[in-house]
Every structure is written in C-alpha cells, then in structure tokens.
Amino acid sequence: MTNTTLRERFGIEEKNSSMVSRVIKDTIAAGLIVCHDDTVGSRARKYLPRWAR
C-alpha cells in the first residue's frame, strides 16, 4: 500500500493527501502496518500489514 493507492481506494482527492498520511501514521503507531523499506524517501514508501513481514 502507498499513500496514492490508499487515496484511490477511499476516493480521496490528491489535495487531501495529508489526511491519508495521518491515517498511515496512526496505523503504524497502532502496530497494524509497517514500512516495507525504511531507506527510501517518504514519497516512495510502501507499507505492509504487520503479519506479512
């Protein structure tokens, strides 16, 4: 999952990408998803469900 794919799933416009970023941040904090590769920049980050790692 990326910010873009999550926006597409929920039908959120690109100008509201900060809303999706907040959802991703909160979901990471809850331990439900993890970053696939921490070495890439924030725009290129992909996220996986915690159990898929």
Show pLDDT as tens, one digit a residue, over the chain (53 residues).
Answer: 999 999 999 999 999 999 999 999 999 999 999 999 989 988 889 999 988 87
**Backbone angles phi and psi of 41, in degrees to 5:** -70, 165
The residues, any chain, with a CB within 8 Å of residue 25's CB and separated by 6 or more, are none
The pTM score is 0.84
**pLDDT at residue 30 in the model:** 96
**pLDDT at residue 42 in the model:** 83
**pLDDT at residue 52 in the model:** 84
